[in-house]
Each structure stands twice: as structure tokens, then as C-alpha cells.
Amino acid sequence: MSEFKYKEVRVFAPASVANVSCGFDVMGFALGTPGDEIIVRQNPEGEGVTINKVTGDEGVLPLDADKNTASVAVQALFRSLGFDGGVAIEVHKQMPLGSGLGSSAASAAGAVLAANHLLGNPLARKALLPFAAEAEKAACGTAHYDNVGPSLLGGFVFIRSSEAPDILNLSYPENLHAVVVHPQIEIKTGDTRKILRNDIQLGKAVKQWGNVGGLVAGLMTKDLDLMARSMEDVIIEPIRSVLIPGYDAVKKAALDAGAIGAGIAGSGPSIFALTADRQIAEKVSKRMKAELDGIGLPSDEYISEINTKGSKVIDVKS
């Protein structure tokens, strides 16, 4: 039987970049920054899971516990544990919504980690993934792991299968840095899925899975050149990139400034780049932003190492 061990747990849950060019629906990595803070606390007044505060979302996110990904994930966890105690959740969004950085996934991952910790960790971290994915399903229609995986586990995550979830952490070059540039326009994930074609050419699929295997091998052998050659998406990027103003120029600027590769973060509109170190990342970030400035599009930039830890308990009250 599960029972409360703490009164309150506060978690940082990082943003993440899904797809990573060629790895549509199968790869993602966690960012050091930005990320959400999620607080889950005992609700002495009763049973059930409630959202009692959301900040940083400009009033966009639902307070209805059956709709917010944080509470949906915790509900799924409690159902699975047969736990009927009450908790109240605060969600402090510290990243842009609808940006392609896995905002809904971060809230789900953070909340489920916090709730599990509140009960003294009855489940291992990896076993929490399906509950966060269930929340993703409620938010966008399908149980994807390419954001909740990195946000919960950290590092570079490979999703061999989402069905009987088979989620791997890949090793990667030590000093690898990520740059994310977020142009201030919003694209809804639902729309970006709808424009994809249901059928693709076998020849292009072979190219893509050649690149997927190449990127996995490049990461694991720390071969930056192989990673660079493999970070090419012949299927999704040509379709989705037309929704992002200035995309081709921003990507070219990143590569010209020394990025290993660059692409659409998740379903966009954020654009990410991977670099060998922080110095290159700073140069790449400036050049990417300059391109967006040039077409009059305001943007935010984030630079960080790959986040090795994923979601992280930052405060506990007994």
C-alpha cells in the first residue's frame, strides 16, 4: 500500500528537443534550461488530484485536473498504484508554450516524478514514463515518448518502440551543447502532424533509417563528423520547415557558424543546433538570432549542455 512520505515535493523538469533531425518520433534530448517547476503537495482536505495554481502560461493552460498534463499524469500514476489520497499541484511554466520544446511533456514528467517522490518512490524513475506519456496522449492524441523520455530521464533518449515502451539512454560526446532559438510565433502540434503525409517513398525511408543508425552510432562513438553527416531529415523537415519563417537561413547560419547539425525542435517553431562545445554554441546562437532579427522576428535563445539528470527533485518538505 502506498502512503504519503512527505508533505510537499518540488521538481525541476527540463525542456527537451524531440526528433533531432532524422529521428522523427524516436529520438530526443533534454536541455539544461529552460524548464518548469512543479510542486506536488498533500491535500489534507480530500481525495483526488487538483491543479491549484499555474503561473507563467498567460492563462492558457487548463486548471481542470482532467485536462492539465501534470494532473493527468499523476492521476494515471495513482490509478496504477491504487492510491486514493489527495494532492494539489502547482505548475510554474518557465518555458514558452507551443514552442516545440516539450512544454506539456515537462509538466507531466515533473509532476509524476514529484508525486512518486511524495509517496517515497514506490516506482523506479523509468517505470513512471507510461504515466507521463498518457498525459501526452491526452494533450496531443498519441502517447509519444520523445519529449517525456528526455524530460524525465535526461540525456539522449532513443525510443525503439512506443507500443510496449522500449526506451534507451544513448551515450554521447561529453562536451556536447545545444542551442535553441525560439521565434515568437506559435504552431500547434496537431496542425504540424496533420500536414505530414501518411505515405512516404521507400527510398526516402531507407535514407532516413540510414541517418538514424548513423546518428546513433555517431553519438555512441563520439564521432562528431558522423553525427553531422547523419543529421539530415529527408521526410519531415521539408514539409514542416515551410511553417517557420526564415528556417533555411537560420539553419544555414547555424551550420556556417560551426554547428554539428541543426533542425526543427520537435514540431517547431523552435530551431535547435548541436555543437561540440560552449564557445561554438554561443557563436551559433548569435548567428541564428541575427537571421531572425533580419526578418523582424523576435526570438528567445537558450544555450545549455545536454541535461544528464532529467527531472530533478529540488526541495522536499516533511
Judge residue 223's burial from the number of C-beta atoms within 10 Å of its C-beta, 0-12 exposed, 13-18 middle, 19 or more buried: middle
CB of 174 to a second copy, least distance (A): 17
The footprint of a second copy on this chain (CB under 8 A) covers a number of residues equal to: 40
198 near a second copy (CB under 8 A)? yes
29 neighbors 156 (Cβ within 8 angstroms):
yes
Quick one: which of 158, 247, 272, 302 contacts a second copy (CB under 8 A)? 158
301 neighbors 288 (Cβ within 8 angstroms):
yes
202 near a second copy (CB under 8 A)? yes
Structure-block grid coordinates of residue 89? 499541484
* 16 in a known ligand binding site: no
Quick one: which of 60, 195, 205, 295 contacts a second copy (CB under 8 A)? 205
165 neighbors 126 (Cβ within 8 angstroms):
no
* 101 in a known ligand binding site: yes
166 near a second copy (CB under 8 A)? yes
Structure-block grid coordinates of residue 44? 489534507
258 neighbors 50 (Cβ within 8 angstroms):
no
Judge residue 169's burial from the number of C-beta atoms within 10 Å of its C-beta, 0-12 exposed, 13-18 middle, 19 or more buried: middle
Residue closer to a second copy (CB basis): 25 or 301: 25
CB of 170 to a second copy, least distance (A): 6
Residue closer to a second copy (CB basis): 246 or 263: 263
Query: Which helix (H) or strand (E) is 31 found in, with range?
Result: strand 27-42
168 near a second copy (CB under 8 A)? yes
* CA 2 to chain centroid: 29
CA–CA gap between residue 128 and residue 306 (Å, rounded): 21
Region of 9-17, 29-37, 195-203, 310-318 interacting with a second copy (CB under 8 A): 195-203
Quick one: which of 101, 119, 212, 254 contacts a second copy (CB under 8 A)? 212
Sign of CA dihedral 116, 117, 120, 121: positive
**Residue 130 CB neighbours (<10 A):** 21
CB of 137 to a second copy, least distance (A): 15
* 23 in a known ligand binding site: no
Per-residue x/- track, 57-86, a second copy (CB under 8 A): ------------------------------
* 106 in a known ligand binding site: yes
Strand 166-170 and strand 156-161: the pairing is: antiparallel
Angle at 125 between CA 137 and CA 147, to 5 degrees: 40
**Residue 301 CB neighbours (<10 A):** 17
200 near a second copy (CB under 8 A)? yes
Quick one: which of 55, 60, 79, 161 contacts a second copy (CB under 8 A)? 161
124 near a second copy (CB under 8 A)? no
Q: Which of residues 213-242 bind a second copy (CB under 8 A)?
A: 213-217, 220-221, 226, 229-230, 235
Quick one: which of 68, 104, 211, 241 contacts a second copy (CB under 8 A)? 211
* 135 in a known ligand binding site: no
Residue closer to a second copy (CB basis): 19 or 71: 19
Residue 170 identity: L
* 98 in a known ligand binding site: yes
- Name the site residues for a second copy (rule: CB under 8 A): 22-27, 158-161, 166, 168, 170, 196-203, 205-217, 220-221, 226, 229-230, 235
